[in-house]
Amino acid sequence: MDHLTWNDKYFVGLKVLDDQHLELFANLNRLHQAVTSGLDPSVTWPLISTLMEATRRHFVREEEILAELGYPGLESHHTQHLELIRRAQSYCTRYRCRESPLSPHLLNFLRDWFAHHLQTSDHAYATWCKEHAQGQEVRVP
Ligand SMILES: [Fe+2]
Ligand SMILES: [Fe+2]
């Protein structure tokens, strides 16, 4: 069973960002599957690296698009992204230092953060885009 299940309510209506959100869900679920199957850290660490790289790439792209659209909430959105990276990085460093398997705390933290951020902050820009970004490629489910 997926750790984080995609639901249509997560769509923000901008295809490139929806695709990246789906990729983050898939990466997190792959990592969760590996951890719960008891796979060795030599398997799980590359998966967490992939997830963190995809997360960073997504944040950069999302912020670029929001800047292009002139989204007024960009600065606080950027701060939230930075905070997630900082906290996830701190989890990773702690567990890597102990050379222990990845903690379920990190998986739960990422699941809860993604789900909450998508439904609140990402949906706030989605709503703004629908109202202000006429002419842009905006797809609403
Ligand atoms: Fe975001
Ligand atoms: Fe996002």
Q: Concatenated DSSP letters for 77-92?
A: HHHHHHHHHHHHHHHH
Q: Is residue 103 part of a domain?
A: yes
pTM: 0.90
Ion ligand 2 residue ranges (Cβ < 5 Å): 62, 122
pLDDT over threshold 60, residue 135: no
For 18-62, what is each residue's pLDDT tens digit?
999 999 999 999 999 998 898 888 888 899 999 999 999 999 999
For 66-114, what is each residue's pLDDT tens digit?
999 999 999 999 999 999 999 999 888 877 766 566 778 889 999 999 9
Q: Which of 65, 79, 81 is nearest to 15 (CA)?
A: 65
CATH number at residue 53: 1.20.120.50
Which structural domain, as residue segments, surrounds residue 100?
A: 12-131
When divided into structural domains, the chain yields a total of 1
- Cα of 105 to ligand 2 centre, how many Å? 21
